[in-house]
Structure 1
Amino acid sequence: MQNSILLTGATGFVGGAILNRLHHEKKHSVVAVIRGDSHLQMQNVPTVRIGTFDSDTQWKENLVGSDVIIHSAARVHVMNDTEANPLAAFRKVNVEGTLNLARQAAASGVRRFIFISSIKVNGEGTTLGTAYNADDAPAPVDPYGISKMEAEQGLRKLAEETTMEVVIIRPVLVYGPGVKANFLSMMRWLNKGIPLPFGAIYNSRSLVALDNLVDLVLTCINHPAAANQTFLVSDGEDLSTTELLSKMANALHKPARLIPVPCWVLQGGAALLGKNGLSQRLCGSLRVDITKTRNLLGWTPPVSVDEALAATALHFQEHQ
């Protein structure tokens, strides 16, 4: 079934990839929502420009004829937030802005609202041998995770009160061509051949390739079993930090110079430098179980970790 889709966050890492796939497949018509003075890289895509994204944003005219909303816009998690009240700042966009759009969408007859949430709703990490499930009780820790949880709660309530279906997708760390932040730093270190003290980390972490996340989002546009469900998404292949760095070095065609420093040493050093969050991401585990996603939707990640890392490495090297 062809749908008319309104996509928010169309210039972001995830939203841009969703837009690219929708535009090139031409199975659905799509209108891209962009903010401020942002510009789309691709041409011939209808756009809607908004100034702010909060409880006062007026969407009515832009929702006419829309069947599905894919909502990827958000105030994203930042490492060193300078806001005096980070939770209030996250709530303004991620909760109030999301629910304002969703209420107007329901009132306009939108059939389905797909919300890109975060694994941070589940929590910050798992113990070895355990994994988060989609239906676990939420346990967010930071303001970003709390705001995403509150948005989810509001959306579920709206789905109960209206005919609009809600689909919630919680990705783990997303990587792919054009990835930024810590993943980009990791590639730069490996590409330069810098020795890294990460050769003895025996944790287990789930990741999701950008192409796999996009494929799941598009699957949820029409799949009848997706209605009013929450899904976790990953590549289905969990890696230790050491394994990830080794695979990434191989994709870059560089030697992995990984020194086997015990995790307790790394954690101690990070604590002295006030970098406990970084040591948690390097040494801690965070696994998700995507059995529900696979079984309910009949979905399998179409891209392997090695394929996704190769594409990520190639883009990185071409844009050095």
Structure 2
Amino acid sequence: MGLFRSMQVFVMAVQEGSMSAAAVRLGMSPAMVGQHVAALEERLGTRLLNRTTRRQSLTDFGTSYVEQCRDILDRVAVADRDAETSQTKARGQLRMTAPTTFGAEVLMPALQRYRALAPEVTLDITLTDRNVDIVEEGFDIAFRIGELPDSRLIARSLTAYRMMICAAPDYLVWRGTPKHPSELSSHEVVGFTPASRSPWRLSKGNEEVEVAPHMSITVNNGQAVRTAARAGLGVIMQPAILLASDVQAGQLVQLFPEWHLRERPMSLIYYRDRRMTPRLRSIISFAIAEFGADPEEPA
């Protein structure tokens, strides 16, 4: 573990009065906080905190050491601010993560425009449909589709993810074309695993329908769901941005085009204590301009 990071964690544990409270502020697990403090104690050869199941208190040496840590951290913060003030150009590595389908189909093509704006920024991108803990896993920023329960994060709203229900022409010849969403209960459905338990909600005028179709196949990859539909395996609901080209090419047929499907919110998230470096500012500005932000949200 890095000495500087362990000092930060130790100071926060003292400031907050407990390791669990420090864990919430730092965006890490209480066990990880304890490991940082233990690493410092092992390095120094003495105990810094007296810990019981209900409380903690500084040892005599811990009282002196925490003030030295605060002094070191303050000096580093001043140096960082001075460096940031003198650096106005975005440069260095930026780590980001995004959902697989959005990342492959939407984000990657758009990054050519970002690279033209920030050529000295190198991008380390992880595409995954897992909700990554950006703090503990060391990401600067993430695109997230769905609700955001984590108040540790700053979220900038992007254009909502519009969904589409489709099936292959051959499948519709075989099973018939459903005329109403309620008829989906008698059809084969290929589901995207992270969302397979959620009902499909559709509305048209004053009519609202909630359908919980039986998933004959579930897959944990949006591209695979799309391929399964083109192969005639069943009906799918996937992002319109992914399926539009297949519909235009006649490989898929959009079902219920007059019905409105519940959109999925999309956000750009980053840790609220993250310093706003030029490279972080540059990707935030780019994403908001490229993918559409809430116009009422301040830049």
- TM-score, length-scaled by structure 2: 0.28
**Structure ranking higher in strand proportion:** 2
The higher-RCO structure (CA 8 Å, 6+ apart) is 2
- TM-score, length-scaled by structure 1: 0.27
Bigger radius of gyration among the two: 2
